[in-house]
Chains A and B, each alone.
Chain A
């Protein structure tokens, strides 16, 4: 699957990108979370710091201050001279200092200031013109302030420790007709609660602002652009008394829920502080509630829609992720393209071209870019050219080598028998060349009328140089041997000549024999060659233990030991090169000299060609299919004894073969220089006997006629043999040649003529053969 460079690199890239993308995604996830949290903090700060929230908070603080001032005035009144005018003036002064206060006063417990007076209170308020008016109307039976709800609540709840009590908001329906909340505090004199001070806070303006808060407009200092969060809404209530003061929400009737329990408002949360990771879902939208708890137990909850809060952040991160994804896709695509274009395509191209070149097409490779491949292509191109020229050269060399090989082998005598008319000896030689041209050779020739030289040699080295050297040596030996000198001088001469022509340091091992075929006297010279085997007439083959001389071509003027012997009739000399004994079988064992000797002794043939054949077969069987590593060369010389000038003829006795028979006879006569008179006689006699045997010896089936003719110094002996009916021609009476012609019979002349012409005629019957011998004196 990932076997190609392309797929491997792509896989690695994709793996790396995936890893990076994952890391990046985590990073983005957490950083977005952090950003959101930061943003929420920022929102929280912005909300807390907004004029709306600060305004409410300030009002509460100023109400409390105001209240404390009033309480101080109240306690001063009670403790001192109890001057109403001074007290009213002090209250007026306080109201001037707290412009947001709508109204407020000091209320003493009934009968505590004066045992006779039930109601003592001081109250001031701002009229529509913002004028501070002291209202004395509350000291009346009609109002009976100690029975008002706010008075009862405050007087019952204040303690010295918890000195400020906020009333439930209420609708004031006697003076200002507004929604009010009253804050009260106890007036303590010497630890005794003598009355309360109150401040009225008109909530209508706050409620109006709450209503307006859709949308809530806020500006983030963090983001320079004005950030307007739409669709936010608010809940303003009194948490202490569980009371809704105002809400703003498009989905509910805001005025209807005033005064209801806070819990009825869906986005109300009792969370201690604003913002939690939790959010509320309202009308399928998510909102984050920001809770502001106020000192007086009021609570202001502002809900911001989540989607709009984080709109920009989300957009930013979405864009970031999208662009990263784009990059992640783009990188492999680019990589894929680059890989293909710069690496894979050039490789494919090279591969295709290499394939075509392999098939023998002649193509030039051209790649210009990238540089590495351009170099590779040009190297490739050069290599192709080199290979082509090398291949051509090699083909040329091979064909030249095979020509050389055939020249080499045809330069050796290879027609057998080479001297068909010579019966003093038989010779056979063969060379089976190994694959390359080698350095083995053999040769034989007459160096004079009776001296016959045969030799076998092995030139050091192999190949063409060895072959050329071999040719030189062969020619040289042949030429030098024509000089009439003793073998000892001859070999010295040959060696010197070889040394002179040999500049390359070649040498040649030679086994050389010179036999006088008229006597059998033989000189054998071994120049560093394998020892020959000799078989005496009725003996066995054995290695001829010759003195080994130095190989030819090594040192000039070397002296050579000559082995002299006389060959008897039937003696055989077997010579060979090391290719025979060093033939290797599949176990790497050599054929060896002992095996060769055994092999020869197991051959019951005397004909050199047959002997050679059997040895070759034996070697082949030994080496089996192992390839031949060296030339296998052998030369076999058999001495038949001095010439007896014998000719033999053997054929089916029939008239058709007569012509062949007398051709044979004529050849012999011609060769022996037989005088015409005698040859005519031989001719006539031969014909008579041949005809006789042909016609009469085999009446029923075909049979052989064997004739042997031998020329001795003073006679010719002519012998006829047949295996036909016993017939002694000598027993036949001679015809009467004195009869008148008319009376003479036509037959019977032949045998008579033979008897007359031959100097003696002998007949014997032996082993079922008729043997007729004619002797003619020369």
Chain B
């Protein structure tokens, strides 16, 4: 899975990826972002995940997103999910993530 991490400003990170966030890819996706945040000299506080190219998300993907959310919240950061298709919203809704995640 191709994952691109772009700094938007000193504390901002924009993540684009294409494909499925499933058993095979979700862990890789999450690890790459977490590693980046932890390795950054400047604290990353705002992370935006671009979902326009994501075709599928399973519970493994949801788990990774919750993990990220918790990581950022602990530093008073913010996690935004961008360009989610109708299709992909249902899993989020199903598990009640729509209640705290910000979709743009």
Interface residues, chain A, with chain B CB atoms under 8 Å away: 655, 658-659, 662, 676-677, 680, 683-684, 687-688, 690-691, 735, 737-738, 740-742, 744, 746-747, 749-750, 752-753, 756-757
Given A680-B56, A684-B58, A752-B95: 16 more A-B contacts, CB < 8 Å: A659-B24, A677-B87, A680-B90, A684-B56, A684-B59, A687-B58, A687-B59, A737-B96, A740-B100, A741-B69, A741-B70, A746-B67, A749-B63, A749-B95, A753-B91, A753-B95
CB neighbours of A662 from chain B (8 A): 22
Which 7 A-B residue pairs are closest in the complex by CB-CB distance?
A737-B96, A750-B59, A749-B59, A741-B100, A687-B58, A691-B23, A684-B58
Known: A676-B87, A677-B87, A687-B22. A749 touches B69 (CB 8 A): no
In the bound complex, do residue B87 and residue A680 qualify as a contact, i.e. CB atoms below 8 Å apart? yes
In the bound complex, do residue A753 and residue B59 qualify as a contact, i.e. CB atoms below 8 Å apart? yes
Nearest chain A residue, comparing its CB with the CB of B73: A742
CB neighbours of A688 from chain B (8 A): 58-59
Rounded to whole angstroms, the CA-CA distance of A82 and B36 in the bound complex is 213
CB neighbours of A742 from chain B (8 A): 70, 73
In the bound complex, do residue A753 and residue B94 qualify as a contact, i.e. CB atoms below 8 Å apart? yes
From A680, A738, A741, contact of B73 by CB (8 A): A741
Most buried by B among A676, A687, A690, A756: A687
In the bound complex, do residue B87 and residue A747 qualify as a contact, i.e. CB atoms below 8 Å apart? no
What distance in Å separates the Cβ of A381 from its nearest Cβ neighbour in chain B? 80
Is B60 interfacial (CB-CB < 8 Å)? Answer: yes
Within 8 A of A (CB), among B18-56: 22-24, 56
Can you show 11 pairs from A to B with CB atoms below 8 A apart? A680-B56, A683-B56, A684-B59, A691-B23, A741-B66, A741-B73, A744-B66, A746-B66, A747-B63, A752-B95, A753-B95
Nearest chain B residue, comparing its CB with the CB of A662: B22
From A676, A741, A744, A756, contact of B94 by CB (8 A): A756
CB neighbours of B87 from chain A (8 A): 676-677, 680
Most buried by A among B23, B95, B97: B23
Rounded to whole angstroms, the CA-CA distance of A448 and B69 in the bound complex is 57
Rounded to whole angstroms, the CA-CA distance of A584 and B70 in the bound complex is 82
In the bound complex, do residue B66 and residue A658 qualify as a contact, i.e. CB atoms below 8 Å apart? no
Is B62 interfacial (CB-CB < 8 Å)? Answer: yes
Q: Give the secondary structure class of A's interface.
A: helix
From B23, B67, B91, contact of A658 by CB (8 A): B23
What distance in Å separates the Cβ of A515 from its nearest Cβ neighbour in chain B? 41
In the bound complex, do residue B94 and residue A757 qualify as a contact, i.e. CB atoms below 8 Å apart? yes
CB neighbours of A740 from chain B (8 A): 100
CB neighbours of B63 from chain A (8 A): 746-747, 749
CB neighbours of B58 from chain A (8 A): 683-684, 687-688, 750, 753
Rounded to whole angstroms, the CA-CA distance of A659 and B19 in the bound complex is 13
In the bound complex, do residue B96 and residue A690 qualify as a contact, i.e. CB atoms below 8 Å apart? no
In the bound complex, do residue B91 and residue A684 qualify as a contact, i.e. CB atoms below 8 Å apart? yes
In the bound complex, do residue B56 and residue A690 qualify as a contact, i.e. CB atoms below 8 Å apart? no
Interface residues, chain B, with chain A CB atoms under 8 Å away: 22-24, 56, 58-60, 62-63, 66-67, 69-70, 73, 87, 90-91, 94-97, 99-100
Rounded to whole angstroms, the CA-CA distance of A658 and B23 in the bound complex is 8
CB neighbours of B96 from chain A (8 A): 737-738
In the bound complex, do residue A749 and residue B62 qualify as a contact, i.e. CB atoms below 8 Å apart? yes
Rounded to whole angstroms, the CA-CA distance of A680 and B61 in the bound complex is 14
Rounded to whole angstroms, the CA-CA distance of A742 and B70 in the bound complex is 6
CB neighbours of A676 from chain B (8 A): 87
CB neighbours of B56 from chain A (8 A): 680, 683-684
Rounded to whole angstroms, the CA-CA distance of A394 and B59 in the bound complex is 73
CB neighbours of B70 from chain A (8 A): 741-742
Most buried by B among A658, A684, A738: A684
CB neighbours of A746 from chain B (8 A): 63, 66-67
Rounded to whole angstroms, the CA-CA distance of A658 and B70 in the bound complex is 29
CB neighbours of A659 from chain B (8 A): 24
CB neighbours of A658 from chain B (8 A): 22-24
Rounded to whole angstroms, the CA-CA distance of A691 and B60 in the bound complex is 10
Rounded to whole angstroms, the CA-CA distance of A676 and B67 in the bound complex is 28
What distance in Å separates the Cβ of A53 from its nearest Cβ neighbour in chain B? 159
Rounded to whole angstroms, the CA-CA distance of A500 and B42 in the bound complex is 90
Rounded to whole angstroms, the CA-CA distance of A659 and B23 in the bound complex is 9
What distance in Å separates the Cβ of B97 from its nearest Cβ neighbour in chain A? 8
What distance in Å separates the Cβ of A720 from its nearest Cβ neighbour in chain B? 15
In the bound complex, do residue B95 and residue A655 qualify as a contact, i.e. CB atoms below 8 Å apart? no
What distance in Å separates the Cβ of B70 from its nearest Cβ neighbour in chain A? 7
What distance in Å separates the Cβ of A678 from its nearest Cβ neighbour in chain B? 11
Rounded to whole angstroms, the CA-CA distance of A749 and B59 in the bound complex is 6
What distance in Å separates the Cβ of A674 from its nearest Cβ neighbour in chain B? 14
Rounded to whole angstroms, the CA-CA distance of A658 and B58 in the bound complex is 13
What distance in Å separates the Cβ of A186 from its nearest Cβ neighbour in chain B? 184
CB neighbours of B62 from chain A (8 A): 749
Most buried by A among B24, B59, B66, B87: B59
CB neighbours of B95 from chain A (8 A): 735, 737, 749, 752-753
In the bound complex, do residue A655 and residue B94 qualify as a contact, i.e. CB atoms below 8 Å apart? no
In the bound complex, do residue A655 and residue B24 qualify as a contact, i.e. CB atoms below 8 Å apart? yes
Rounded to whole angstroms, the CA-CA distance of A756 and B96 in the bound complex is 12
Nearest chain B residue, comparing its CB with the CB of A659: B24
CB neighbours of A738 from chain B (8 A): 96, 99
Nearest chain B residue, comparing its CB with the CB of A757: B94
Rounded to whole angstroms, the CA-CA distance of A738 and B94 in the bound complex is 11
CB neighbours of A756 from chain B (8 A): 94
What distance in Å separates the Cβ of A757 from its nearest Cβ neighbour in chain B? 7
What distance in Å separates the Cβ of B1 from its nearest Cβ neighbour in chain A? 12
What distance in Å separates the Cβ of B81 from its nearest Cβ neighbour in chain A? 13
Rounded to whole angstroms, the CA-CA distance of A659 and B97 in the bound complex is 27
CB neighbours of A690 from chain B (8 A): 23
CB neighbours of B91 from chain A (8 A): 684, 753
